[in-house]
Amino acid sequence: MTTDKNMKEILLDTLDNLSAEKEGDLERFKFSLANANYEKKTIPKGQLQEADDRLKLVDLLCKYYKEQGAVNVAISVLEKINCRDSADKLKEARQKALGPQQTPETSANAYRVKYREHIRNKYSAIKDMNARLGENVKLNSRYTKLIIVKEHRHKKQRENEIVASGRRHEEIISNYASSITIGHLFELDEDGQLPQIVMLLGPAGIGKTLTAIKIMLDWANGELYQSRFDYVFYINCRELNFVSEQGSIEDLIFKNCADQNAPTKEILMNPEKLLFIIDGFDELRFSFNQSESNFSSDPCEKQPVEIVLSSLFRKKVLHKSYLIITTRPTALEKLKQCLEDGHCAERYAEILGFSENAREEYFHKFFRNEEQAIKAYNFVEDREMLFTMCFIPIVCWIICTVLKQQMEAGEDLAQTSRTVTDVYVLYLSSLMKGHSSNSKQQIRMNLKGLCSLAADGVRRQKILFEEDEIKQHGLHTADSLFLNENMFQKDLDCEHVYSFIHLSFQEFFAALSCVLQKEETTVEDSETILKNVKMLLKRDTNNGNSSTLTVRFLFGLLNDERKEEREKMLSCKISPLIKETLVKWVEEKPTVSLFSYVGKKMTSYLEAFHCLYEIQEKKIVQSAMNRYTRLILTEHNFTKMDEIVLSFCIKHCCKLESLCLRQCSFQDEDMPRPCKQPRRAQYQHEPHHSPIYQLCQALMAPNSILKTLNLWSCRLTAAGCGDLADVLRTSHSLTDLYLYNSVEEAGVQLLCGGLKHPNCKLQTLELDSCRVTAAACGDLAAVLTTSRSLTELILGGNELGDSGVRLLCEGLKHPNCKLQRLNLESCRVTAAACGDLAAVLRTSRSLTELHLGYNELGEAGVRLLCEGLKHPNCKLQNLHLKWCRVTAAACGDLAAVLRTSRSLTELHLGYNELGEAGVRLLCEGLKHPNCKLQNLHLDKMYFREEMWAELDAVKDTKPDLVIQIQGSW
């Protein structure tokens, strides 16, 4: 390695030769030197004029640029004034002085291989916070891609993120147009500028440090920034706080290297190929208000750490180098002040967290055991609020850790982590254990402050807090993993506000504030708590969603069985003071009456069910639910958690006879959510359940007395029919099932398996508009021949066709068939099938009602039907032929039926082309003394007003006959 003396000597020799070779070159050198800008430093012209000999000029160069830098400046200036021979000789002299294989072009490049290997070894493995001694995790086996955006979010956008949950939250954080990857951080921006400094923002636990380390590893593995950076260095700001001795940029580079033989001076000669990652700027404890005179352009000059970093930030040293600086948002303004004199392009990027796909990927990477990963992921995904919270990597890690510990202990997640409250308590407990270095008193004070702040926010319906408010509650923002820092532009200034990492945490701590027992609780304290709780309950009842989570958490925290366990976890006493108030509130909610409650009112009942689920006390749940004999919920999109809750409450409702979920929808596992790949379908050993599995399990409870189940238009598919079939096999009470869903042939086949079971008690089955085709009619016919209870079958709106009807007729003619009412409206039936239907009418011992409306029967079809209707064995009482292309020619046959039928009491002929002649023929039959008809339905479309006289004549002879005329004149 060269000495300082050698560098000065070769520089002096070059200037000597320059002045000897050509007159004026030295003056041109000095003139050009006055305009040189090496590391943003220029020698003042006055000082250059005073350097009237070559020795003074060399001393001046070395004073401003240090010895090695002075040589580099001289080479640059010589090339600029076209003294290329002198420049080349100076390069050769520098190379010879540095020694063999020690040129910047070779030594730094050769060392890079060794440096990359060192970085790979250093960062390929990370240690989990709860790992045992010597236990590490491979970074690439754990790291999961994060959502990074390069835009400033508005205050309203951030508020929406804090409040949203489930699919809405996923849409918000995944749909930013400026989403980028770490590989795009140094790409040209919209204005064609290449950023030299990237500010990577994010709250605590969002993955800033892991991203920084991932960049280091990917670069070392040749997967990132290969053509852009020769060296990447990692600087940990937390560690710098403990550095007391002076140092330099060169020293910071040495700390990254494997040994002390690194060619750092050669590395520093190409600053445009260097990237420094400054991790955790917000943790730096020293001031950056430095005088301009303190800054240094020499990367080898030793100075206090704050000056070294300030020089790097302000581009006073290595001004062509690149920086990635990670920080929390509230330190952004301070960081910008440090960068404001740098005069280089900057880029803002913010880490938002995991997408939905990334959450699932993280679970599989964390557990490594595929079965455990699937079990844990399914558990969390079914609980919408937990799944939402897993967008934050640290929360995702803690929840995975908690679930893994329970699994390895052989515990059942459905029991130990049944409710959302259970998991939030476990989460909080885990964090408190993780801060064991703090005194118990300090932990309690932090917990008290969080509870106080949260309760204040819920009372005032506020989710963003000023820094003064945080301090008023005894909190230090940097110490809490529950608080996020947010910075928004406000006029010309920046507004700093804080929030809980999600609204659910604010509501959890607000609930805790009501149940945590003080060491000395006065009567006044108790009255205040009760007053606040009653206000929450009143607001929840009136608004439906204002503070619903707080109320849920209140119920969950007061479970008697878990009380002692939770007190131990939280190191606090839980007061039962408000339990009586909560129980009274939920039991006094009025019951749901038929089709009366929709929208917010209906949602409030579902919220009450969520509260009952959280408390998990059988006596309380049954007392509240046993007031319901009929329950109707309409137009609600059930989450997985909603279904679990509803099923739990129905299971404990011993008096429920009718359940109607009209136009509701369930999360269908067969249909992936937006932006979600159906990864779980890859694992064949995983048991698959339909969206209504939980509900059907509740309906099979031994104490269930449910008679009517209406799932009209609930977007069910064939998958749900398997679970419904199990209900049909098991239930001792279910008699009526109404479906209006696209269950198709496969779904009907599954249902028929349950209908044929000897224990099935079903009497009415509606499969209206269920995409049933002829292929399924054989299964339905088999049901008709075996079922002991089925008396009504509604198949309207399906494309059965004539072939399907023929198959049904085989079952209808069977002597064991008990069916009384059959609806085949709008089933593509024509005259071709009417002969089979007539045969049913002649042989069936039970069929009394037949609906054939909206089919193209025509004159020929009606005549065939009439042959069956006139048979003495026919039992049919009610016949619907609305909109069947019945003409006057067929009315004679119908009149003959009216004269001979012993059973027909109701006939619907609306919207047919009967005409005057047809009506007259019908009237002749109606007047016959043997006619038993009691109700006739016609319409005004095809006969004139004069026809009323004919009908009046009929009424004179048959005063009990009701004739209903549809339509208007």
Residue 893: per-residue pLDDT: 96
Q: What is the CA 910 to chain-centroid distance, rounded?
A: 52
Structure tokens given for 641:
């958690």
The alpha-carbon radius of gyration of the chain (Å, integer) is 41
Read off the pLDDT band of 2 (50, 70, 90).
Answer: very low
User: How far is the C-alpha of 458 from the C-alpha of 546, rounded, in Å?
Assistant: 9
User: How far is the C-alpha of 784 from the C-alpha of 806, rounded, in Å?
Assistant: 13
Mean pLDDT for the stretch of residues 332-336:
85
Residue 99: per-residue pLDDT: 58
Residue 613: per-residue pLDDT: 93
Mean pLDDT for the stretch of residues 878-884:
97
Contact 761, 753 (CB under 8 A): no
Q: Which residues contact 336 (CB under 8 A, 6 or more apart)?
A: none
**pLDDT for 69 beyond 70:** yes
**pLDDT for 863 beyond 90:** yes
Read off the pLDDT band of 951 (50, 70, 90).
Answer: confident
Read off the pLDDT band of 671 (50, 70, 90).
Answer: very low
Q: What is the pLDDT of residues 291-321, one digit of tens each?
A: 777 888 889 999 999 999 999 998 989 999 9
Q: What is the pLDDT of residues 621-630, one digit of tens each?
A: 999 999 889 9
Structure tokens given for 532:
């606040």
Contact 855, 822 (CB under 8 A): no
Q: Which residues contact 836 (CB under 8 A, 6 or more apart)?
A: 805, 806, 809
Identify the burial level of 803 via C-beta atoms within 10 angstroms of its C-beta, where 0-12 means exposed, 13-18 middle and 19 or more buried. middle
pTM of the model: 0.72
Q: Which residue did the predictor score with more confidence, 158 or 452?
A: 452
Contact 314, 299 (CB under 8 A): no
Contact 809, 785 (CB under 8 A): no
Contact 182, 147 (CB under 8 A): no
> Which DSSP helix (H) or strand (E) runs through 231?
strand 231-236
Q: What is the pLDDT of residues 591-634, one digit of tens each?
A: 543 333 444 445 567 888 989 999 999 999 999 999 889 999 88
Residue 438: per-residue pLDDT: 57
Q: What is the pLDDT of residues 556-576, one digit of tens each?
A: 999 998 888 888 888 788 888
- Crossing angle of helices 579-587 and 599-615, in 10° steps, is 140
Q: What is the pLDDT of residues 501-553, one digit of tens each?
A: 788 889 899 999 888 876 555 566 667 777 778 777 776 555 444 457 888 89
Comparing C-alpha atoms, which of 328, 287, 277, 327 is closest to residue 307?
287
**pLDDT for 892 beyond 50:** yes
Q: What is the pLDDT of residues 722-735, one digit of tens each?
A: 999 999 999 999 99
Residue 503: per-residue pLDDT: 82
Mean pLDDT for the stretch of residues 188-197:
86
Comparing C-alpha atoms, which of 276, 275, 188 is closest to residue 225?
275
Structure tokens given for 518:
């003080």
Structure tokens given for 208:
């800033």
**pLDDT for 867 beyond 60:** yes
Q: Which residues contact 232 (CB under 8 A, 6 or more apart)?
A: 119, 215, 216, 219, 220, 225, 274, 275, 276, 277
Q: What is the pLDDT of residues 101-152, one digit of tens each?
A: 444 445 778 889 999 999 999 999 887 655 554 567 889 889 999 999 987 7
Q: Which residue did the predictor score with more confidence, 95 or 458?
A: 458
Identify the burial level of 938 via C-beta atoms within 10 angstroms of its C-beta, where 0-12 means exposed, 13-18 middle and 19 or more buried. buried
**pLDDT for 829 beyond 60:** yes
Q: Which residues contact 886 (CB under 8 A, 6 or more apart)?
A: 857, 858, 859, 862, 894, 909, 912, 913, 914, 918
User: How far is the C-alpha of 459 from the C-alpha of 449, rounded, in Å?
Assistant: 15
